[in-house]
């Protein structure tokens, strides 16, 4: 009986991929029928591995006096976790080791029709926001989301050991729809968590104090992105110091993920453009929509989703916009309509698509 090759063996033997010493893996993604991963599935894995590999190798630290030991460069031992769980997460271990779980990226790679639709509708100047809120999503997009949900169910039945994609009809280039923007966003978010282990205590507390201050003003000023009942729930939850501490870290990582995405896409700010900023805002809104899909799916399957450690997706989106507006010295209204336009439109359209899928 022929023994199936692991994905590392396939990539090394067929794609001549060489993994650097600081990269390791956890989990061996497989298929429900027990077959070997296809070239398309391995292409997806390469699409996720390469940016993680590059992002964690020889990280240059500006202003090294902010970090313990004042290093100018670090390379963390990085474990890429290929569990079939649909979320994204990071864990930091003693000695600076970092484990990154990238399940949210396999979900994104399974939605090329959805992403392409959003990109196309946003490029159409004829659409008003009220039209996006009543948009009738095509059947192909709704079927694509349903296929992803079924893939999650299959992976769940296999104790989350299956690779979520590839779904029927996924084209060879689908995993690269929109470039690697979503990869940069997720990796940047998780790296921001890891950087907590590097910062000097005073520097870390300074950053956390800024986020806590923005949470206080958000609770007082929010009027557009979440309903009053959601705001009241957040206010009550944040009375718990443990919840406040966890949410502050998550909001901080959301900001870090966006900043990493935009810096990477603009080559550190040397190639800024309105188009690249709009693309970054679109990706961050799609990221929150992916989190909405994950939370909704798990809740409908009666899995407990711990909002004590991770704030709900809609609160994360609202606080992200609030912090961005405050840092730019803008009102929420001005930020949403004058600055965050592409992101705001993406949010409205994705909310509509998910509402039709869940309730239509």
Which stretch of 36-45, 210-219, 225-234, 279-288 has the lowest confidence by average pLDDT?
A: 36-45
- Whether pTM exceeds 0.85: yes
- Is residue 1 in some structural domain? no
> If you average pLDDT over residues 7-17, what whole number do you get?
86
| CB contact at 8 A, 316 and 308 | no
Instruction: Specify the pLDDT at position 300.
Output: 85
Task: Provide the pLDDT confidence category of residue 267 given band limits of 50, 70 and 90.
Answer: confident
Q: Helices marked H in 238-340 — which ranges?
A: 241-265, 274-300, 313-328, 332-334
C-alpha 341/C-alpha 28 separation (Å) is 40
Instruction: Specify the pLDDT at position 93.
Output: 63
- Is residue 90 in some structural domain? yes
- Is residue 107 in some structural domain? no
Q: Same domain for 55 and 163?
A: no
**Which residues does 245 contact at the CB level (< 8 Å), separation at least 6?**
none
Q: Which of 84, 102, 120 is the last residue of a domain?
A: 102
Maximum Cα interatomic distance, the chain, rounded to a whole number of Å: 66
Instruction: Specify the pLDDT at position 358.
Output: 92
Q: Same domain for 46 and 127?
A: no
- Is residue 348 in some structural domain? yes
At 293-332, the pLDDT tens digits run: 999 988 888 777 778 888 999 999 999 999 999 999 999 9
Instruction: Specify the pLDDT at position 177.
Output: 58
Q: Same domain for 132 and 12?
A: no
Phi, psi dihedral angles at 55 (to 5 degrees): -70, -25
- Is residue 309 in some structural domain? yes
Task: Provide the pLDDT confidence category of residue 108 given band limits of 50, 70 and 90.
Answer: confident
At 48-103, the pLDDT tens digits run: 888 889 888 998 888 999 999 999 999 988 988 887 777 777 676 656 788 888 78
Tokens representing 243 are: 């919840």
Q: Same domain for 40 and 118?
A: no
Q: Which of 102, 127, 159 is the last residue of a domain?
A: 102
Give me the long-range contacts of 209-215 (CB less than 8 A, separation at least 24): 211/248, 211/251, 211/252, 211/255, 211/323, 212/244, 212/248, 214/251, 214/319, 214/322, 214/323, 214/326, 215/244, 215/247, 215/248, 215/251, 215/319
Q: Which domain holds residue 82?
A: 7-102
Tokens representing 348 are: 């409205």
Q: Is the pLDDT of residue 334 over 90?
A: yes
Q: Same domain for 95 and 121?
A: no
C-alpha 235/C-alpha 314 separation (Å) is 14
Which stretch of 71-75, 161-165, 336-340 has the lowest confidence by average pLDDT?
A: 161-165
Q: Same domain for 42 and 183?
A: no
Q: Same domain for 64 and 120?
A: no
**Domain total in the chain:** 2
Q: Is the pLDDT of residue 224 over 80?
A: yes
* Chain mean pLDDT for the chain: 86
Task: Provide the pLDDT confidence category of residue 126 given band limits of 50, 70 and 90.
Answer: low
C-alpha 74/C-alpha 97 separation (Å) is 11
Q: Is the pLDDT of residue 169 over 60?
A: no
């Amino acid at each position: 009986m022929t023994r199936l090759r692991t994905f590392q063996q396939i990539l090394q033997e067929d794609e001549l991929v060489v993994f650097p010493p600081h990269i390791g893996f956890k989990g061996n993604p497989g298929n429900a029928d027990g077959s070997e991963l296809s070239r398309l599935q391995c292409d997806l894995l390469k699409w996720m591995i390469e940016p993680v590999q590059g992002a964690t190798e020889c990280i240059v630290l500006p202003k090294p006096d902010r970090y313990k030991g004042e290093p100018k460069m670090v390379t963390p031992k990085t474990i890429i976790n290929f569990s079939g769980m649909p979320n994204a997460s990071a864990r930091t271990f003693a000695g600076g080791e970092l484990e990154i779980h990238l399940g949210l990226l396999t979900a994104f790679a399974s939605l090329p029709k959805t992403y392409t639709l959003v990109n196309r509708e946003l490029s159409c100047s004829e659409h008003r926001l009220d039209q996006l809120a009543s948009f009738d999503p095509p059947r192909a997009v709704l079927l694509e989301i349903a296929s992803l949900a079924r893939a999650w169910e299959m992976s769940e039945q296999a104790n989350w050991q299956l690779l979520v994609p590839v779904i029927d009809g996924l084209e060879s280039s689908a995993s690269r729809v929109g470039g690697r923007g979503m990869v940069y966003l997720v990796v940047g978010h998780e790296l921001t968590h890891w950087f907590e282990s590097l910062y000097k205590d005073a520097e870390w507390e300074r950053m956390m104090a800024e986020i806590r201050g923005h949470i206080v003003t958000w609770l007082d000023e929010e009027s557009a992105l979440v309903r009053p009942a959601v705001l009241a729930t957040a206010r009550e939850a944040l009375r718990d110091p443990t919840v406040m501490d966890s949410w502050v870290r998550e909001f901080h990582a959301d900001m870090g993920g966006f900043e990493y995405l935009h810096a990477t896409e603009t080559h550190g700010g040397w190639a800024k453009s309105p188009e690249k900023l709009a693309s970054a805002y679109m990706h961050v809104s799609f990221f929150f929509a992916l989190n909405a899909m994950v939370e909704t799916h798990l809740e409908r399957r009666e899995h407990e989703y711990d909002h004590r450690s991770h704030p709900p997706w809609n609160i994360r989106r609202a606080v992200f916009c609030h912090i961005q507006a405050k840092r730019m010295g803008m009102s929420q209204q001005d930020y949403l309509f004058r600055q965050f336009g592409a992101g705001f439109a993406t949010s409205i359209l994705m909310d509509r698509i998910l509402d039709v899928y869940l309730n239509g």
